[in-house]
Amino acid sequence: MPANSRLAVRKTYKLFIDGAFARSESGRTFPFEHRGGITHVARATRKDLRDAVRAARAALRAWRDRTAYNRGQILYRLGEIMEDRRGELIESIARSGVAAATAEKEVDASVDRVVWYAGWCDKIEQWLSTKNPVAGPHFNVSSPEPTGVVGIVAPQRPSLLGLVSTIVPPLCAADAVVAIASDVNPLSAIAFAEALATSDLPAGVVNILTGERSELTPHLARHMDVHGLDLWVEDDELEERAADLACASVKRVRRSDPRSSAFWFGDTSMSPRWIESFMEIKTVWHPAGW
């Protein structure tokens, strides 16, 4: 090594739970090989997952009590922060072997998608609510409310855009999220978590775990305090097992097959229906009369 070359400071990739970055309680990691070398990424256990769900549950009420406008501002801020961190996000994708131009396109699409959803926070209720003309002197209104804690087994690819596309819509719904990242490329998930951590998002609203998906998914699926489940599991058997375990608490489950690049980069993968998937409709009656 020449005398004047600078040594890099290597980054440790940790789990994102309750607004903080922590190693797995087990201390386990798994080696992730990429263009820059080998990184030992935290390998979450069921206890880490348990802690993440607890954090999400605790964060729910305050997140829901914020104004929709405030949630929109926070998501817009996330877009600002991600825009500012473009380089880092692009690198986190490119390292896993994706071509630089594609990585850039993926980051652009991710930022724009966040901004798109930011604008839904204070509109989703208008889009889904109705005042119902019941046959009688009663005022009757239906409107959507958050389902609660949503567990997400994120798409394997694209590792950033897929994660953003699945995590952000439940946030518009005022849900709290526990997400299991791609293990094909876990680095983008943590780079994204760092953007989340600096976006004024309250601690616990989003939690991101890296690790062995086949190990973590069943625990997420059977957790009695998780109310919604978004499965982008590539292994059919694992997916079916998770869907079965989810029945014990009548979770709202969405199951999806791996999708093409065209799907993820197009309008087909952004829709207020993705927000609606993790909302409940409440209908209220009140008499009108002297």
Partner 1 sequence: MKVDPKTRGNGINERARDRVSVAAPPSAASNKWQYAPAPEAHDYIKLRSRYDLFVGGKWRKPKSGRYFASINPATEETLCEVADANEADVAGAVAAARTAYEKYWRKMPGASRAKYAYRIARAITERSREIAVLETVDGGKPIKESRDVDVPLAAAHFFYYAGWADKLEWAFPNADPRPVGVAGQIIPWNFPILMAAWKVAPAIACGNAVVLKPAETTPLTALLLAEIVEQADLPPGVVNIITGGAATGAALVNADGLDKVAFTGSTEVGKQIARACAKTKRRLTLELGGKAANIIFEDAPMDQAIEGIINGIFFNQGHVCCAGSRLLVQESIHELVVTKLHRRMQTLRLGDPLDKNTDVGAINSKAQLEKIEMLAATGDADGCTRFQTECRLPSRGYWFRPTFFTGVALSHRIAQEEIFGPVLSVLTFRTPEEAVEKANNTPYGLSAGVWTDKGSKNFEIVRRLEAGVVWANTFNKFDPSSPFGGYKESGFGREGGVHGLLPYVEI
Q: Least distance to partner 1 from the beta carbon of 126, Å?
A: 5
3-state secondary structure 7-52: CCCCCCECEEECCEEECCCCCCEEEEEECCEEEEEECCCHHHHHHH
Asked if omega into 158 is within 30° of 0 (cis), the reply is yes
CB of 76 to partner 1, least distance (A): 6
Q: x/- binding map, residues 268-287, to partner 1, per CB under 8 A?
A: ----x-------------xx
Total residue count of the chain as it appears in this document: 290
Phi-psi sector, 142: left (phi>0), alpha (psi -120 to 50), beta: beta
Sheet of 130-131, strands arranged across = 130-131, 138-146, 279-287
Contacting partner 1 (CB under 8 A), which of 12, 69, 235, 281? 69
The reply to whether 156 sits near partner 1 by the rule CB under 8 A is no
* Rg of the chain on CA atoms, in Å: 20
**Stretch of 58-66, 123-131, 142-150, 221-229 lying at the interface with partner 1 (CB under 8 A):** 123-131
Check binding of 118 to partner 1 (CB under 8 A): yes
Q: How far is the CB of 243 from partner 1 (least distance, A)?
A: 30
Cβ proximity to partner 1: between 83 and 215 the closer is 83
Q: Is 126 in the site for partner 1 (CB under 8 A)?
A: yes
Site for partner 1 in 222-261 (CB under 8 A): none
Q: Is 123 in the site for partner 1 (CB under 8 A)?
A: yes
For position 58 contacting partner 1 by CB under 8 A, the verdict is: no
Tell me the closest approach of the beta carbon of residue 264 to partner 1, in angstroms.
Answer: 16
**How many of the chain's residues bind partner 1 (CB under 8 A)?**
24
Q: What is the CB neighbour count within 10 angstroms for residue 23? A: 16
Q: How far apart are CA 278 and CA 71, in angstroms?
A: 16
Q: Give the tokens for residue 122.
A: 């204070």
**In 31-173, which residue ranges form alpha helices assigned H by DSSP?**
46-65, 68-84, 86-94, 100-118, 124-128, 161-172
Crossing angle, helix 161-172 and helix 68-84, to 10 degrees?
160
* 169 near partner 1, judged by CB under 8 A: no
Q: Does 4 bind partner 1 (CB under 8 A)?
A: no
Q: Does 73 bind partner 1 (CB under 8 A)?
A: yes
User: Does the footprint of partner 1 cover residue 139 (CB under 8 A)?
Assistant: yes
Of the two residues 87 and 119, which places its CB atom closer to partner 1 in the complex? 119
Among 76, 86, 104, 202, binds partner 1 (CB under 8 A): 76
Helix (H, G, I), strand (E, B) or coil at 141: strand
Nearer to partner 1, 120 or 264 (CB): 120
Q: Distance between CA atoms of 210 and 154, rounded to whole angstroms?
A: 11
Is-contact 199 81, C-beta < 8 A? yes
Stretch that binds partner 1, among 1-9, 16-24, 115-123, 222-230 (CB under 8 A): 115-123
Binding residues vs partner 1 (CB under 8 A): 68-69, 72-73, 76, 112, 115-116, 118-123, 126-127, 137, 139, 272, 286-290
